[in-house]
Structure 1
Amino acid sequence: MSVTEAGASAGRGRPPILSEQAIVEAALSHLTQRHPLMDLSMAQVARDLSVSATALYRYFPTRDQLLRALSDRIFAEFVYPDLALPWVEQLRVWQDSLAMLFERCPSLTRLMGWGEEIAPAWFKIQMPPLRVMHDQGLRGTDLVEISTWFLSGTVGLLRTHMIADSELQRPSHLIAFETSLPLLTPEERALVDETLPFIALGDSDRIVREGLDALVDRVVKRVAALA
């Protein structure tokens, strides 16, 4: 049953009506509209809903419970690869599906786990690459190492890309390097001077695409080596 907040100011229309779904959607909006490195604030979510923070805790007694609900909500949009596709293509589709979620929610890594807990929804999504590699003959340490490398590499590359593209993140070519230059050797400073003019010309999308392809290619090589 919905709960009406009696503390809303009079004369501003009907008071806001709370529900678990309304809180989750407001929190998701909070994450999608802010810098990827910014944390989720219960107080900010409450302000967005024009209610007190106490009202949120009636539905989510702890912040972790809200994070889990958010994780379930956003990862429900993940599109799983078609099992009829060739196995290499399944890995690429999996990467593309995760990239779409990062586009939807740049703070996605905050919904993959918190504290010592891995989010159940994210754990489930890791299964397709693990299954693909297992089907191709990877076992034991080989399976653990290559799957960990593939998963962490994909997440890290996408996360870095989203941070770089954030409107709140200064473009690399505008960042002041002066405070770091004294730590460099003359040769290193010359290398920086040579590189700086080209930073703004780099194609971020191409960097990500080639990086993701390189991760898949490494899996292919490991499978071929074991065969």
Structure 2
Amino acid sequence: MSTPSTSRPTRGRPPRLDQARTVESALALLNDSGLDALTMRRLADAMGVQAGALYRYFRTKDDLLTAMAERMMAGVCAPAGGADWSERLSVLARTLRQALLAHRDGARVFAGTHSTGPGTLGFAEDCIGILRNAGFTDADAARALMAVVHFTIGHTLEEQAALRPGGGSPADPNVLREAVSPDEYPHLTAALPTLTDADYAPHFEFGLALLVTGLQALRQPHHR
């Protein structure tokens, strides 16, 4: 969408407001203060403009969040050919996770948005292309895309919730440790070291491996 700047640029200075700068400023405010503190008014204050000026580019905050999600997807693409389909798919999922982790509350911003920009559509195209070329049906490839995206977003939501500032939240591993007694919950007690491990990468890799293994089993009939 092309919209005139809200202020006449002075010689040698860029315009104070445009769509790309608004998104970048919103991401900076997100990283500084988190999603709950990101309002159109606070964003306008940070950019030195009137709040109403932002609505020339984004009709609602949801529109802004969608643009932010699309910006996060820049550079999220499939690796060059050569690797096995399952590894290429796994790399895509890992890259998506890293893109969301690169921004505070990134998964919360991304969840529920439906961008039709080149970053988001390119990711979907790469993912479905990998699967179709591997022999999956169109329907299975589409559902596999949704499974990969939903798993990655859900996992990263939990991961970033655990990292959110403010001790004493349910994500605090000490809360779980104090609630679990060996006599009443012997199995949970045995699993506590893993359940309270703050390194989420192994948890993600385990779930991703399960997903890919299931897809490998689903793919077999198409190659008999």
- Shorter-chain TM range is 0.7 to 0.9
What is the alpha-carbon distance in structure 2 between the residues aligned to residue 77 and residue 140 of structure 1? 25
In the alignment, which residue of structure 2 is the partner of 1:111? 110
Report the AA paired with residue 21 of structure 1: A
Local SS of the residue matching 2:212: helix
Q: Looking at both structures, which has the greater relative contact order when contacts are Cα pairs under 8 Å and sequence separation is at least 6?
A: 1
The alignment status of 1:194 with 2:189, answered yes or no, reads yes
Asked if the contact 1:4–1:18 (Cα under 8 Å) also holds between the matched residues in 2, the reply is yes
Q: Summarize the alignment of residues 92-131 of structure 1 with structure 2, pairs less than 5 Å apart.
A: 92-105=90-103, 106-111=105-110, 113-114=112-113, 118-121=114-117, 122-131=120-129
Q: Deviations over 1:55-101 (max 9, x none)?
A: 22233343344334323322223233213332122112101211220
Q: Which residue of 1 aligns with 2:51?
A: 53
Q: Does structure 2 conserve the Cα–Cα contact (< 8 Å) formed by 1:102 and 1:159?
A: no
Q: What's the CA shift string for 1:170-221, capped at 9, x where partnerless? A: 443244899xx8xxxx999535873696354453221122222222222222
**Structure 1 length-normalised TM:** 0.72
Does residue 31 in structure 1 map to residue 30 in structure 2?
Answer: yes
- Structure 2 unaligned residues grouped into runs of 5+: none
Aligned Cα RMSD in Å? 3.6
TM-score by length of 2: 0.72
Q: Distance in 2 between matches of 1:102 and 1:205?
A: 14
Identity of aligned residues (%): 22
Asked if the contact 2:25/2:43 (under 8 Å) is kept, the reply is: yes
Unpaired runs of 5+ in structure 1? 6-13
Match of 2:211 among 208, 211, 215: 215
Aligned pairs, how many?
A: 209
Distance 1:144 1:4 in 2: 45
* Conserved 8 A contact 2:107-2:153: no
Matched, 1:205 2:201: yes
